[in-house]
Amino acid sequence: MAESKLVIEGGHPLRGELTVQGAKNSVLPLLSAAVLCDGDIVLERCPALSDVYAASRILTHLGCRCRLTQGRMEIRNTGITCTEIPETMMHEMRSSITFLGPLLSRSGSCTLYLPGGCELGPRPIDMHLHALRQMGAEIHESHGMLQVQGRLRGAELHLPFPSVGATENIILAAVLARGQTRIHNAAREPEIRDLADFLNACGARVSGAGTDTVFVQGVDRLQGCTYRVMPDRIAAATYLAAAAATGGSVCVQDCCPGDLTAVTEVFRQMGCRVYSHENRIYLQSSLPLHAAPYIRTMPHPGFPTDAQALLMAAHCKARGSCMFEETIFDSRYRHADDLIRMGADIRLSGRAAVVHGVQRLSGTTVHATDLRGGAALLIAGLSAEGITELTELSHLDRGYENPEHVLRSLGAKIERIT
């Protein structure tokens, strides 16, 4: 595919309303869950993202039929005909690992490979494998290949860390397993709740999702259903951060304000006015912003790691200094180099980063190194003087549906050039 770039003329405050896309991090495990369901599944508000296409290619390879048209993903599962996911497909994204639980549970044996995904430091899957072993899986690992077999049974599981992916994989493995599974120290992210709601709509019995203890009572079969994917809280945070950084005012419609309180609290500390009403968030910003003193990423309901880069970009021109502490991933400051090239004053030290606000950023050519880092550079470009060219858009396209279209509708001057 030809290399494309976004060309951004900075300095235009974002104003207006937007409707947020469906959540990438929810729809991906829902697509994995399709392996478990007989018949037809319809996912409404399904975003057209390269990761979604990668997941639907895996489903097609496994024997399902998938079609995405205008936000509606239709999947027909008349039987899984293949139990190996090729290495190239596994490498396309990290969340391909959530096919492991359902594929094993459905077929009794499968072959997968270690997943790919954003480079945020080492991303092991030891918790996924340990839990599946406790549920009766025999797993043979060699040279990145995972050969797995076993009839799964419910188990009492304790996660050493509330991993989102491991919690999802276990729930997906447990819904058709014999007996009861309890996950202690489960991830509490809203996407876990969405997965449980979807599975329950298909006939599963999952309770406690969204708390630190999830309980699954195995059932014999699941039937497809029609389900509306939750709104993407990180995409919402991205557009709010862009409005904050440009001194704009926007209303994000069709989102869940309750899922974003840790983020909206930071915008308030920065001097923005933020109101939420039912499923809308309004943000009004006037420049200069003030630095929030300290942002520490934590599992939900703490400040999300996925919003760290976004808020770092919004802090580049804020008065004062903000200290970031990234506690979830080892290497999630790769956007800082390009922010510094645009004029930001950022000092990195291990898991800490300190941003000292500067008067101005200047546009230049920058490269997305991962999904949220790319979004951070986009935000910086919108608030910089002059022209910013953002390249390596494949990272951005994994998680944002047509961002230039959304931003243009808010008054940004931005074009995609192929």
> Which residues are known to be catalytic?
118
Q: Is 13 one of the binding residues for ligand EPU (CB under 6 A)?
A: no
278 phi-psi bin (left φ>0, alpha ψ -120 to 50, beta other): left
Query: CB atoms < 10 A from the CB of 210, how many?
Result: 18
**Residue list 303-322, contact with ligand EPU (CB under 6 A):** 305-306
Complex with ligand EPU: residue 51 or 318, whichever CB lies closer:
51
The binder of ligand EPU chosen from 17, 158, 161, 211 (CB under 6 A): 161
Question: Are 393 and 403 within 8 A, CB to CB?
Answer: no
User: Could you say which of 5, 12, 45, 128 contacts ligand EPU (CB under 6 A)?
Assistant: 128
Helix (H, G, I), strand (E, B) or coil at 381: helix
The smaller minimum CB distance to ligand EPU, of residues 94 and 367, is found at 94
Instruction: Please tell me the number of Cα atoms within 13 Å of 203 on its side-chain side.
Output: 14
Contact stretch for ligand EPU (CB under 6 A) within 41-49, 70-78, 119-127, 287-295: 119-127
Which span (63-71, 157-165, 209-217, 282-290) binds ligand EPU, by CB under 6 A? 157-165
Nearest approach, Cβ of residue 136 and ligand EPU (Å): 18
Q: Check residue 125 for interaction with ligand EPU (CB under 6 A).
A: yes
Per-residue contact flags (x/-) with ligand EPU for residues 269 to 308, judged by CB under 6 A: ------------------------------------xx--
From candidates 41, 80, 164, 241, binder to ligand EPU by CB under 6 A = 164
Three-state secondary structure call for residue 63 = coil
Q: Does 28 bind ligand EPU (CB under 6 A)?
A: yes
Element (H, E) at 237: helix 233-246
**Does residue 341 touch ligand EPU according to CB under 6 A?**
no
Minimum CB separation from ligand EPU for residue 261, in Å? 16
* 126 binds ligand EPU per the rule CB under 6 A: yes
> In the set 10, 18, 20, 25, which binds ligand EPU (CB under 6 A)?
25
Give the helix ranges, DSSP H, for 247-335: 261-269, 308-315
Quick check: 166 binds ligand EPU (CB under 6 A)?
Answer: yes
40-69 residues near ligand EPU, rule: CB under 6 A:
none
β-pairing verdict for 213-217 and 226-228: unpaired
Number of residues that bind ligand EPU (CB under 6 A): 25
Q: How many residues does the chain have?
A: 418
- Nearer to ligand EPU by C-beta: 12 or 233? 233
Residue 181 near residue 150 (C-beta atoms within 8 A): no
- Please give the Cα distance from 273 to 85 (Å, whole number): 48
Distinct helix (H) and strand (E) counts, the chain: 14, 24
Instruction: Please state, in angstroms and rounded to a whole number, the distance separating the CA atoms of residues 178 and 221.
Output: 11
Q: Compute the distance between CA of residue 207 and CA of residue 193 in angstroms, rounded to an integer.
A: 9
Considering only residues 376 through 415, tell me which ones interact with ligand EPU, judged by CB under 6 A: 399
- Any long-range contacts for 345-348 (C-beta under 8 Å, 24+ apart)? 346/312, 346/316
The residue (of 187 and 312) whose beta carbon lies closer to ligand EPU is 187
Q: Are 52 and 401 in contact (CB under 8 A)?
A: no
Residue 96's nearest CA partner among 160, 172, 162 is: 172
Please report, as ranges, the residues that interact with ligand EPU according to CB under 6 A: 25, 28, 94-95, 118, 123-128, 161, 163-166, 187, 189, 305-306, 328-329, 371-372, 399
